[in-house]
Structure 1
Amino acid sequence: MPNPTRQQIIDAHNALASLVCVVLSNTSDPDEKDWIRTIARALTAALPPKPQSTMAEIEWEDDKHYLAEAEHGAYSGVVMLSKNALSGTVRVLAKIGDINDVRAVEAVELTPTGKRYTLTEVQE
């Protein structure tokens, strides 16, 4: 498999994890369990790294995702604003050149970074 797709990589990691669970549940020998875990680590290391989840795989939660940062291929870092329940697109604030613009992008194109922003009132 020279160029596996993102989904094939995820499926391979999930299949390996399921297989390890089944094999571990069928033995009570501690030495055998250690051996199984060692083999599982070696097989996991041979797989391509598991890709990070995209917003298509994550259920939108306003408290968690409103004003959260995500990576997007075309716009680099964007700030997520809302998700359209009908189309599944996510409205984001993106910096395009010197202009900040609100765009609707496909959820599958967004990978959350874990950063969040908050609005604060400034007294002048």
Structure 2
Amino acid sequence: MPELTRQEIIDAYDAVDELHNAACALNWGSLHDREDDWANTVIKALPPKPTPTLEEIAWYDHMHFLAEAEDEDGKKYIMISPQEDGIRCISNGKKFPETDPIPRKGLTPTGKKYKLAEIQDDE
């Protein structure tokens, strides 16, 4: 089987959704209850649907500021702000160094969020 690109996989999932919706709208009588089974059969044969990257997601401060993202190599970052040439992040390591903007297409949100907390001098 040929290696599918990320976009081809996304397009295949979209096509299954569209075909399923069209079949449901036709209301084929005795076949009506089978649309979900057909869609699920096709989806089982597809690779997992890729998680959207920051290129495909609009930036919202309340969702993305101090949220974790992962690059294509699996390295984790904490997102700070959008820039024209990518997302400004800090590395999710011991010293949290600031990075140059990372291209949006290379970052996938992990769902993990951080929050700022004041630390007292005696801590």
**What's the TM-score, normalizing by structure 1?**
0.87
- 1:122 maps onto 2:119 in alignment: yes
Q: Which contiguous aligned blocks of 4+ residues in structure 1 show a shift greater than 6 angstroms?
A: none
How many Å separate the matches in 1 of 2:22 and 2:119?
Answer: 57
How many Å separate the matches in 1 of 2:19 and 2:48?
Answer: 18
Give the Å deviation of 1:57: 0.5
State the partner residue of 2:6.
6
Give the Å deviation of 1:99: 4.6
How many Å separate the matches in 2 of 1:95 and 1:15?
Answer: 37
Letter in 1 for 2:90: L
State the partner residue of 2:63.
64
State the partner residue of 1:36.
35
How many Å separate the matches in 2 of 1:34 and 1:77?
Answer: 44
Give the Å deviation of 1:35: 1.0
1:71-117 deviation per Cα after TM superposition (whole angstroms, max 9, x unaligned): 11346111000001x33x00111157x65321211011111011100
The alignment yields a C-alpha RMSD, in angstroms, of: 1.8
Change (3 A) 1:92 1:17: same
SS state at 2:87 partner? strand
- 5+ residue gaps in structure 1? none
State the partner residue of 1:83.
82
How many Å separate the matches in 2 of 1:83 and 1:71?
Answer: 15
How many Å separate the matches in 2 of 1:62 and 1:95?
Answer: 19
How many Å separate the matches in 2 of 1:78 and 1:32?
Answer: 49
Q: In structure 2, which of residues 68, 92, 106 is the aligned counterpart of residue 109 of structure 1?
A: 106
Change (3 A) 1:102 1:11: same
Change (3 A) 1:75 1:95: farther
Change (3 A) 1:93 1:58: same
* The structure with more strand, counted as a fraction of residues: 1
How many Å separate the matches in 2 of 1:117 and 1:27?
Answer: 48
Maintained 8 Å contact 2:71/2:107: yes
Give the Å deviation of 1:28: 5.8
- The number of aligned residues is 120
- 5+ residue gaps in structure 2? none
Q: Give identity over the alignment, percent.
A: 36
